[in-house]
Structure 1
Amino acid sequence: PTVSAVGPHFSHSATGAAAAPHEVPEPRSARPPRPTRQRARRGRIAQRFVPHELRPVTLRDELTELGEAFRAYQQRAEPDLAILADLHARKAKAFSAWAEVTADTGLRLDAERAEQAAATARLQHLHRSGQAPEGDGPAVTRLLTASAQWNHARAVLTHVADHAPLPGPEARLLVVMLTLRTAQSGVGNLVGQDLKGLPLPDPEHLVGQLVESGWLDIAGTVDELIASRPENPTRIGVPSLTPDENDPGPFTFGRKMRPKLSGWAQRVVGEKKLRKAKTTADARLLALALATGVSLDGQLGPEGEGLGPEALSSWCAIDPGDLPELVDRLTAADWLTEVAVTDTAVTGRLTERVLPLSCPLT
């Protein structure tokens, strides 16, 4: 037969049924993924890590959850003493069980402190809510009575720490007192006795330095300020604290609050036993820091965890190596008890007699 010259020629054309489709082999089964290891959650409470291997598991989980609950409480906008009392009660029970398991005396002491803290918070809650049992006085009658006032006191100290115009503890103590005298409006009155009552070896020189630095303005001379009396006080001003249209100033409290805060600081700095012991400016600064860094029952730091030595040394404008001696001075002046100073924390509590001067961390 004649073969067409046009188009392809297939020598083996399909006949009948269509050719079977090409079979594609099934893909190899994927290797199952390796199970991911989940890292065990490591709990932390009161500067202690909760061991993952701690048994019973219910105790481990309770300690972990309790630490989270305390940290959540610290973030509350307003304190709730009933909740705080319950947290301390749970902590006392959990730490007591932890001490039984590990035979750790420190945990047992922490449990006792938590039990005391729970009782204090519960009683304060009863008094504030008008449910106090008959015959019981308030747990602590504080000079500053509300958490807002306590926070204002801390705000002033923080501002001074961040904006101190001169180095050294004497200058810092003077700046604290002058800041409280002029806070809110930027101006105030001062007399010579206000300066002579502070542990300052050379107040005239310090005032002169503050004036020269531009931080302080005074009406008249330094000598006239030192000689001034209550019937004829000297007008002073701190430009950085003076509000204007664009800057309301660093503090949010009003005119009625300022004298309360100033009076509180004077009571702390001029406390009888601190004066009798002739403690220096750095010790008075430490007293202010400790008074504003305690729990409701007077333990140093939130949850009694203690306060950082570096932060305390920086605030007192001293070398960190001098802090233990400074703590000893306050202990001797009956300000502190159950004190321990380590590289990481200063723990202990304020004595009962100075608790009225405290501004708790709530």
Structure 2
Amino acid sequence: MAVEAGTRQEEQVAGRVWTVRLDPYGRPSAGTVRLSCSRPACTDQHFPCGAAAGRKAAIDHVNTHLARIRAGGGPRGEAWCACRAADCAWHTPEPVTGRPGGTRPGAVRCGGPVVLTVYADRAGRLWRIAEMCARCAAAAPGCRVLDTAPPPAGTNQAAGQPDTEQERADGTLGKGVAAVFSDHAPAGAPSSAAATPAPDPRARPATPGGAPRRAKRRGKIAQRIVPPGLEPEVLRLELIELGDAFRAYQRRTEPDLALLATLHERKARAFALWADVSGDGSLRHEAKRAETAAQTTREMHENRGGRPADGTAGDQPVVERLLTRPQAAHTRAVLDYAAAHAPYPQAEVRLAVLMLTLRAAKAGSGNVTGQELTGWLQNDAEEVVQRLVAAGWLRLPGTVAELMASRSEDPTAVTVPTLLPDRPRPFDFGKITRARVSGWAQKVVGDRKIRKKKATAATRLLALYTAAHTRPDGRLGRAEDGGLHLDQAAAFCTLPPDQVGEHAELLIAADWLTECDTIAGRLRGRLTERVLPLGGLL
């Protein structure tokens, strides 16, 4: 057996590898890149226009090689795995020296048909075309299979592929594994896993008369080829159908987050079982990633669509909300920060501090125009800015008059010293969340009907506070609290508690609240249907 295997290995030829690279060339300031290919017949090319032109040329060069390979018959079935020749470094963290073959214990063993693959790194600097075995292709991150070679004549398996028939006879593959997927329940059979006995993975019906078996359906999921001999059969079919389902979802013109969450859940279950069968730790890692993706997708569906992913919406309205639930939590943190760090207690100052904090929350500085300040504070804008500058809370590159004269085509970059990067960071959100929350506040403060009522800064603060503290149905406060604490709402708006009701009535007149009352120290009310998208879910 050893002599036969060695002879078979010697008959194989090395798998071909084409490597295309994009590297800087010359002085960094020149922006020139060099395109090089590992094939000796390909000469280097230089692109002074930058990396974008170089990447386009690199992709065209890769496609030219692929066209020639296909014209020459595609991948060769007798080729030796190019990944194995590189000590499987394409899918292991680092090659192990001093070990036969350079592989780690439990690493992916070569096997399966020879496939033609292409790999492109995320940075757009390296492209690799290679002839390699199907197992290495499935284990290499970012590797895409383009074609599969027919098996060489007179052989049943590629070199290095395990004897699956012998493993099946010994019971080492699929032993003790029972899996039933609801998507593959037989017609008329119960859908419960307990009611459907799992088939014996070692049982193989004999083919009468020695007739050739029907070719098994092939499939791919998550850049991995589903092995044709994977057992149990129901797992193999589930993986193939899941791959088809994900590709069909990517072709949809409109997203369906509920469907996507279901696909991720099925993928997590299937990959966990696949890891049990094969002993591949990377599959279990992929299963955990799918679980996380399913949970995140469900939250996105509930936050943005107003309906849980399981379809149990109850009497909640279906609303396309501006803020997700985590973004609403960040919004309330910014409101608390503005209330605690405003240098003066007046409502106009607190409103200006809140809006400027949102502009400078990420880097300590942000652009603002005089037109925006006037929209927030009306005739008090210049005086409020002057007070903030005098208190040292705000820094300007010029004078207050220059700031008030600035327009959208030439905004002024203002600085909030307490939010500079060298100071302790009061917020932990990124630039996308900052922009979303700032846009939300701008929509609330600049609401058309509130402006028509000539609402004061205190009324606008109350509109911000009520919008940021709502339930999915638009009611104020948490259900167990029965509304908002009147003292806390009054303190944020810099109002006496007995005056909150008057400003709430102004919001009712502006079609912001449908109702309100301040009985028993609680502010109760509900957002109108037109402003439900601005509600920040508690």
Q: TM-score, normalised by structure 1?
A: 0.61
Does the 8 Å contact 2:396/2:415 carry over to 1? yes
Q: Indicate which of 482, 486, 497 corresponds to 1:320.
A: 497
CA distance in 2, matches of 1:183, 1:124: 24
Give the drift of 1:122: 8.9
Give per-residue Cα distances to partners, 1:161-204, cap 9 Å, x unaligned.
11111121111111111000111111011111111111333211
The aligned runs of 1:1-362 (5 Å cut-off) are 127-129=307-309, 131=311, 139-144=318-323, 146-244=324-422, 247-303=423-479, 305-361=482-538
Give the drift of 1:319: 1.8
The letter of the residue matching 1:249 is R
CA distance in 1, matches of 2:520, 2:308: 38
Give the drift of 1:138: 7.1
The letter of the residue matching 1:294 is T
SS at match of 1:328: helix
**Structure 1: runs of 5 or more not aligned:** 1-120
Q: 1:96 matched to which residue of 2? A: none
Give per-residue Cα distances to partners, 1:262-287, cap 9 Å, x unaligned.
11000011111101111111110000
The letter of the residue matching 2:405 is A
The letter of the residue matching 1:201 is N
Give the drift of 1:127: 4.3
CA distance in 1, matches of 2:393, 2:515: 40
The letter of the residue matching 2:322 is L
Identify if the C-alpha distance between structure 1 residues 345 and 256 changes in structure 2 by more than 3 Å, giving closer, same or farther.
same
Q: TM-score, normalised by structure 2?
A: 0.42
Identify if the C-alpha distance between structure 1 residues 172 and 204 changes in structure 2 by more than 3 Å, giving closer, same or farther.
same
CA distance in 1, matches of 2:352, 2:421: 21
CA distance in 1, matches of 2:488, 2:520: 12
Does the 8 Å contact 1:123/1:132 carry over to 2? no
Does the 8 Å contact 1:300/1:307 carry over to 2? yes
Identify if the C-alpha distance between structure 1 residues 170 and 252 changes in structure 2 by more than 3 Å, giving closer, same or farther.
same
Give the drift of 1:338: 3.2
Give the drift of 1:321: 2.2
Give per-residue Cα distances to partners, 1:244-264, cap 9 Å, x unaligned.
2xx441000012221111110
Does the 8 Å contact 1:309/1:346 carry over to 2? yes
CA distance in 1, matches of 2:476, 2:339: 20
Moved more, 161-170 or 333-342: 333-342
Does the 8 Å contact 2:508/2:515 carry over to 1? no
SS at match of 2:484: coil
Identify if the C-alpha distance between structure 1 residues 208 and 139 changes in structure 2 by more than 3 Å, giving closer, same or farther.
same
Identify if the C-alpha distance between structure 1 residues 237 and 125 changes in structure 2 by more than 3 Å, giving closer, same or farther.
closer
Give the drift of 1:355: 0.7
Does the 8 Å contact 1:199/1:279 carry over to 2? no
CA distance in 1, matches of 2:338, 2:485: 18
Does the 8 Å contact 2:349/2:384 carry over to 1? yes
Q: How many residues align?
A: 236
Give the drift of 1:129: 2.2
CA distance in 1, matches of 2:516, 2:420: 41
The letter of the residue matching 2:438 is S
Give % identity. Answer: 47
Does the 8 Å contact 2:306/2:320 carry over to 1? no
CA distance in 1, matches of 2:306, 2:450: 33
Give the drift of 1:212: 0.7
CA distance in 2, matches of 1:353, 1:341: 23
The letter of the residue matching 1:198 is W
Give per-residue Cα distances to partners, 1:296-330, cap 9 Å, x unaligned.
11111100611111111110011222111111111
CA distance in 1, matches of 2:416, 2:472: 34
Give the drift of 1:126: 8.4
SS at match of 2:475: coil
SS at match of 1:354: helix
Give per-residue Cα distances to partners, 1:53-86, cap 9 Å, x unaligned.
xxxxxxxxxxxxxxxxxxxxxxxxxxxxxxxxxx
CA distance in 2, matches of 1:336, 1:138: 16
Give the drift of 1:293: 1.1
The letter of the residue matching 1:283 is T
SS at match of 2:526: strand
CA distance in 2, matches of 1:193, 1:218: 16
Give per-residue Cα distances to partners, 1:205-256, cap 9 Å, x unaligned.
1101100100000110000000011222111000111122xx4410000122
Give per-residue Cα distances to partners, 1:103-127, cap 9 Å, x unaligned.
xxxxxxxxxxxxxxxxxx9998884
Moved over 6 A (4+): 121-126
Identify if the C-alpha distance between structure 1 residues 125 and 210 changes in structure 2 by more than 3 Å, giving closer, same or farther.
closer
Does the 8 Å contact 1:215/1:240 carry over to 2? yes
By relative contact order (CA 8 Å, sep 6+), the higher-ranking structure is 1
CA distance in 2, matches of 1:286, 1:225: 27
Structure with more strand by fraction? 2
Identify if the C-alpha distance between structure 1 residues 354 and 218 changes in structure 2 by more than 3 Å, giving closer, same or farther.
same
CA distance in 1, matches of 2:398, 2:498: 41
Identify if the C-alpha distance between structure 1 residues 124 and 149 changes in structure 2 by more than 3 Å, giving closer, same or farther.
closer
The letter of the residue matching 1:254 is G
Aligned Cα RMSD in Å?
Answer: 2.5
CA distance in 1, matches of 2:530, 2:376: 22
Q: 1:112 matched to which residue of 2? A: none
Give per-residue Cα distances to partners, 1:17-62, cap 9 Å, x unaligned.
xxxxxxxxxxxxxxxxxxxxxxxxxxxxxxxxxxxxxxxxxxxxxx
The structure having more radius of gyration, on CA atoms, is 1
